[in-house]
Amino acid sequence: MFNKILIANRGEIAVRVIKTCRRLGIATVVVYSDADADSLAVEMADEAVHIGASPAAQSYLVADKIIAACKQTGAQAVHPGFGFLSEKAEFAQRCADEGIVFIGPNPGAISAMGDKIESKKFAAAAGVSCVPGHIGEIADVAEAIKISEEIGYPVMIKASAGGGGKGIRVAWSRKDVEEGFPAVRAEAAGAFGDDRIFIEKFIESPRHIEIQVLGDKHGHVVHLFERECSIQRRNQKVIEEAPSPLLDPETRAAMGAQAVALAKAVNYDSAGTVEFVAGQDKSFYFLEMNTRLQVEHPVTELITGLDLVEQMIRSAAGEPLSFGQDDLSINGWAIESRIYAEDPYRKFLPSIGRLVRYAPPEEGEKAGYAVRNDAGVREGDEISMYYDPMISKLCTWAPTRSEAVAGMARALEDFHIEGLGHNVPFLAAVMDQDRFVSGKLATSYIKDEFPDGFAGTEPTAFQADLLTAVGCAMQRLQAQRLGRARADWTVVIGHGKQRVHLSGEGQSLSVELLDAGRTLNLADIAWRPGLPTFRGVLDGQAFTAEVAPAPEGFTIRHRAAKARVLVLTARSAELHDKLPAKAPADTSKLVLSPMPGLVVSMDVAIGQQVREGEVVCVLEAMKMQNILRAERDAVVKTVNAKPGDPVAADQVLVEFD
């Protein structure tokens, strides 16, 4: 076993590896860039080596600096985490040449699976299901029908030189092929000057399901069952779970066997993941293999009881697997929510900044579920524009899926972040959706369920009661401190009004809804003025709400429902009704930064005439570029930023006449 391991990564995965190494009694070294000098990983590691400037291309991606750090510190092995150098066969080979153990698969396996065409050849040779299709010349409609029926409907008829959505038809029957094949051929010839066509199986409402595999250097390979990763946005996973609600034991066994066969075909000897696209009918087809530890590995650890980082280290040290396939089983259900520094109310744009408050839920056993939170940050840390926007990975485990979903919803309630935009309300909204609870998932889920973006959710009947009760309790506690306690108020939420009568003592409050003729009972109140969260039990249901003071009342959020709650005297409520509506500010002549970031280019100058749709400037944050365009014809009046400038969200970049 190694005495010292260098971690060639940052953030939560560096912290994750350090935790396992500590348990195994292995000393750790982390490398760090300028941006990560004060990071949690640097604080936790036994040694730390500075390797360059903040951009990854000048630090974490420079193999020479990683090798030099290993030699400087005497580290015998290097764990690459995920991203950066983790799937670079050249780096794995370089480590071997330098006498340093690469904690991951051998260079040959990385190389074989890194090439999409080669990986499909290996998969086909290993008996792995690949998307049925015919790539080659198709002479006429008759041949197209023959091929389509051999593949099985529905099929996709695609132009070989296609692009931009042109030259594509889905055929659900023979008639569709008879009509669609000549139409696609004509469209392809007209659009691309190339009428070659190929046909492949069309997967309806596809799901993304992956199999975790684990191998050693003695020819043993097992699978650790599956993860469902269908909840994605811009091909980025958002919510993962294990096992999958789609699979039955037979399909699970078949997918696992194929993943193991592929791993054995390339002499795989570490942790890796074989990814499949699956149909709602439980058909599945090979997509690719990731030759590294996956971001979502915690859900597999929670249902198997294994530490995947430990298994990678033991395999790299030459130890054989201490268990076989028959020793493994699924215990319960686990769900992971990726907490991102992004603003769901602004089309999920990156939201960099400082974590003014960072209060995740307490880890460990709860009433009916368990919580795990993998993070590489602390309160006060800054989320940098140079790297991935992930803040943490929140996981819950429970005996059943429904309990794990309910546990995740509660854990998200208990997650409080201030200082930047984050996606906790969005994740909570998904947990509350009937479709998610039913397990009817697809890679199009977010697009299907939030076609117009995310704007929060309307309060349910329970949440409306909660908003009322919490607002009343906060008003009562503040009034008591000032010696102005009273029993009768009017609560205003949006356009709704409710007269209430309050009674109770200490941590309990009864809220009599005079207009509705019923009473709310709030118990176990845990709040005092200044606290950002309010905990309690409403009519027997425990909850946590996020609260903040607002004029005449409070802003209160429970899960994805957020409202301004006013608690007024009867006279104040009357006057409030007479206030004119506030008109929104006119920003039609301004180009505002939609996110904090760096100006990549400023494409206009003062006095320049611009047309609707022309590029005004380009911003970048967290490896994502955002192009800002003119929304109308105009003349540029002022330019307030230049390339290289850092800008804040809503900062005025350009003003038009």
Catalytic residues: 288
Look up residue 54 and give its DSSP letter.
S
Cβ atoms 399, 332 nearer than 8 A: yes
Contacts of 539 (CB under 8 A, 6+ apart): 465, 520, 521
State how far the Cα of 463 lies from the Cα of 496, in Å rounded to an integer. 14
Measure CA 272 to chain center.
20
Q: Count CA atoms within 13 Å of residue 487 on its CB side.
A: 8
Cis peptide bond N-terminal to 245, omega within 30: no
Cβ atoms 286, 129 nearer than 8 A: yes
Strand partners of residue 465: none
Structure-block tokens of residue 618: 């380009």
DSSP 318-351: TPPPS--GGG----SEEEEEEEESEEGGGTTEE-
State how far the Cα of 634 lies from the Cα of 364, in Å rounded to an integer. 58
Q: What is the CA radius of gyration of the chain?
A: 28
Contacts of 16 (CB under 8 A, 6+ apart): 309, 374
DSSP 76-131: SEEE--SSTTTT-HHHHHHHHHTT-EESSS-HHHHHHHHSHHHHHHHHHHTT----
* DSSP H helices in 104-201: 107-114, 116-125, 141-151, 174-192
State how far the Cα of 214 lies from the Cα of 237, in Å rounded to an integer. 22
624 three-state secondary structure: strand
Nearest to 276 by CA among 329, 223, 221, 325: 223
State how far the Cα of 27 lies from the Cα of 70, in Å rounded to an integer. 13
Burial class (CB in 10 A: 0-12, 13-18, 19+), 165: exposed
The dihedral formed by the CA atoms of 4, 9, 11 and 17, expressed in degrees to the nearest 10? -40
Residue matched to tokens 């995920």: 82
Cβ atoms 245, 439 nearer than 8 A: yes
